Homo-oligomer: A and B are copies of this chain.
Amino acid sequence: MANYSAPLKDMDFLLKHVADSRQFDQLAHFDDYDAPLLAAVLEEAAKFAGQVLSPLNQTGDIEGCHFNDGAVTTPAGWTDAYQQFCDNGWLGLALPEAYGGQSLPRFIAAAVHEMWLSSNLSFVMFQALTQGAAEILLAAKDDRLKQRYLEKLVTGEWATCMSLTEPGAGSDLGNTRTRAVRQEDGNYLIRGQKIYITYGEHDLTDNIVHLVLAKTPDSPAGAKGVSLFIVPKYKVDEAGQCGELNDVRCVSIEHKTGLHGSPTCSISYGDEGGAIGELVGEENRGLEYMFILMNEARLSTGQQGVAIGEMGYQRALEYSLERTQGRDALTGETNVQIARHPDVKRMLMGLRAQVTALRALSYQIASRLDLAEVDSQDRAAHLQFVALMTPIFKAFSTESGNQMAGTTIQIFGGMGFVEETGVAQLMRDIRVTTIYEGTTGIQANDLVFRKVLADQGAALTALVSEIETDFALYSALDCAGAETEMLTQMIRVVKDTADYILQQGKEGREALLCGAVNVLELLGIACCSWMMMRTAVAAEKQKLQSTDRDYLNNLIALSRFYFAHFTPKVLALHHTVISAGTGIQDYQIEE
C-alpha cells in the first residue's frame, strides 16, 4: 500500500489564498512567521507523516493493542514514533514556547495536524488531548499545576487522557457518578469507573495525566455539580517528579471495529481506597474547563473527516489510474484507466471537492482562532464565528468522512472489500468520529439551541453576510455559469432556515429537535459551498500571476462541480427542516 503523501500544494493554496490567514501578512503578529517558515514546517511534517507514521498505519491496524493485567502495549513501532514525534517538537506546535512548545499560529498547526490524522489516525489521537489539556491548565490560572504539569505535557514526556464517560452515562455528563472527596491536604480521593478512555493507558510515556470529571459530596445536581481533577497514574510531588503508583487501574481495552492502534480503556479509580486527585480551578466548574478541551477535540475530530477523505482520495486516484477496465464511453477505446469512466471521475472529483471545501473550512476556523488572539477589536466576532462553526464542522466533516470512505471503497470495487488494500480500514477507523466528542445529534442540538437561538441568530446572520460577500465576488467571475442561480437559492434557503429556527424557538421545540441534524447538514453544505466560491475566486485571481493555469483551472472546475453535485442538497434539506415533525409526533415507538 502506498504511503500518505501530504497534499502540500493544495494546503499551501488554501492557507495562503482562501482562509482568512491571508490577513496574516498584514497583521504580522507571530514574529517568527513568514512564508518560508510555513513551507519549511509543512515540508518537514510531510516527511514525518509519509515516512514514519504512514508505514505504521496498516501494521498498527493488524496488530492492534495488547492488554495484559492492567498494562497496555501499543503496536510495534508506536513507542519509537512517539519519541521522534515529541523530539521533533510536533506535539506542542501551537503551544507556548514558555512551556516547551513552538508558539506557531493555529492555522499552520491545523495543516500539520491534518497530516498526522491522514497518515495514522490511531497513533496521533493523543495530540488533541495534549493540546486541550494544556489549554485547560493555561486557562485555570493555577501556577502550582502549571509548573508541575504543563511542560511535561507540552514536550510529551507525559501523556494525558480525558476521563469523562461512565458505564451508565455516555453523553450525559451531568449524570457523573465518580466521587471526589476533599482531604485535609487539599487533595481529593477519587473513586469511580470510566469507559471509552482514549489512550487511558499505554506504554508511550512514563506517566499519564488523567483529567477526570467527578462530583464532590453535596455538589449541585446535574451538570453544574461536576468538577475536574487531575489524577496522575504516578503521583507527582511538589517538584514535579513522579512518585508511587496512584490508585488508577486499566481494567480492559475495547475490541473495536476500527482505530485498533489507539487503546480505548476502561479505567477504575480508587479500587484500593481512592486515587489521589488535584482539583483543577474551582469546584463545580469542571464542565466549563472540560469544554475547553472538548472544543479542541471537536475541531480535531472534524479534521479527521478531512484527513480520511484525503487519504481515501489519494488511494482511489492512484488505483483508478493503475487499474484498466472497460470501454471509454465516448471514444470507444477499450481497456482504459477506470479514472476515465465518467462515474469514476465523478466519484474522484466528489472526494477531492469535499476534501478541498472541508479543508478550507478547517483552516478558516483555525485562522479565526489566530485572529482572535491578535485582533482585540474583533475578538468577540472571531470567537463567535468559531463557536458557530465548531458543531457544524465537527459533525458535517465526520459525516462526510464516513461517506468518503465508502466512496473510496466503491472506486476500489471488490478490492476495497479485501483488507489487504487498506481502504476498508478507512471505513472502520472513521466510523466512530460521528460519535465521540459528541454525536452528530448532540452537535446539531448545540448548533440550533446554543449557537443560533441563544444569540437570536446573530452569529448565523454574520456568517450569511460573509457568504454573500464572497458570492458577489464569485458571481462576477467570467467562469461563473448557471450555478450562480443555485448559489442564490442556497443563500435564500440559509436565511429562511435561520428565520424558521428563530420562529420555532418561540413556538415549539419539538419540530426543531426533529430537524436539527438536517439544519446542521444544510449549513455544512452552505459553508463548504462558500469555501468553494472563495477557492474559485482565489484561483481566478492567481491565474493573473501564475503559470500554473492547469492547476488553477482544475480548482475552478472542482468548485463548479461542487455547486452542481453538493449544493443542491440544501433544497431538499430545507424542505425537511420545515416539515421535520411530520409523522414523528403521531408515531408511537412500539415497545
Contacts and interface: CB of A to CB of B under 8 A. Distances in A.
Interface of A: 165, 168-172, 175, 195-196, 254-258, 317, 321, 325-327, 329-330, 335, 339-349, 402, 406, 409-410, 413-414, 416-420, 424, 427-428, 431-432, 434-436, 439-441, 444-445, 481-483, 486, 509-510, 513-514, 516-517, 550, 553-554, 556-565, 568-573, 575-576, 579-580, 582-584, 586-591
A287 B232 CA distance: 67
A554 B553 CA distance: 52
Contacts of A170: 325, 413-414
A513 B410 contact: no
B590 A554 contact: yes
Q: Most B CB atoms within 10 A — which of A168, A406, A553, A582?
A: A582
A577 to B, nearest CB: 10
Given A175-B325, A418-B256, A576-B568, A481 B582 contact: yes
B563 A171 contact: no
Chain A contact surface mostly: helix
A329 B171 contact: no
Q: What's the number of copies of this chain in the assembled complex?
A: 2
A588 B579 CA distance: 41
Given A427-B257, A510-B329, A584-B349, A591 B321 contact: yes
A493 to B, nearest CB: 11
Given A418-B255, A572-B568, A582-B481, A171 B413 contact: yes
A550 B170 CA distance: 33
A583 to B, nearest CB: 3
17 contacts: A170-B413, A255-B420, A258-B417, A321-B591, A329-B513, A330-B509, A345-B584, A346-B517, A410-B435, A424-B428, A553-B588, A554-B588, A557-B583, A564-B579, A565-B580, A568-B575, A571-B571
Contacts of A440: 410
Given A171-B326, A343-B516, A559-B583, A417 B257 contact: yes
A555 to B, nearest CB: 10
B550 A588 contact: yes
Given A348-B589, A414-B432, A575-B571, A343 B441 contact: yes
Q: Which 6 pairs show the lowest CB-CB distances between chains A and B?
A: A561-B583, A257-B424, A564-B582, A342-B513, A343-B441, A568-B575
Given A321-B591, A343-B517, 10 more contacts: A195-B414, A256-B418, A330-B510, A343-B444, A346-B517, A414-B432, A563-B583, A564-B575, A568-B573, A569-B572
B345 A414 contact: no
Nearest to A432: B417
Nearest to A518: B565
Contact of A582 (B326, B510, B561): B561
Contacts of A434: 410
A413 B409 CA distance: 24
Contacts of A325: 168-172, 175
Nearest to A582: B564
Contacts of A340: 589
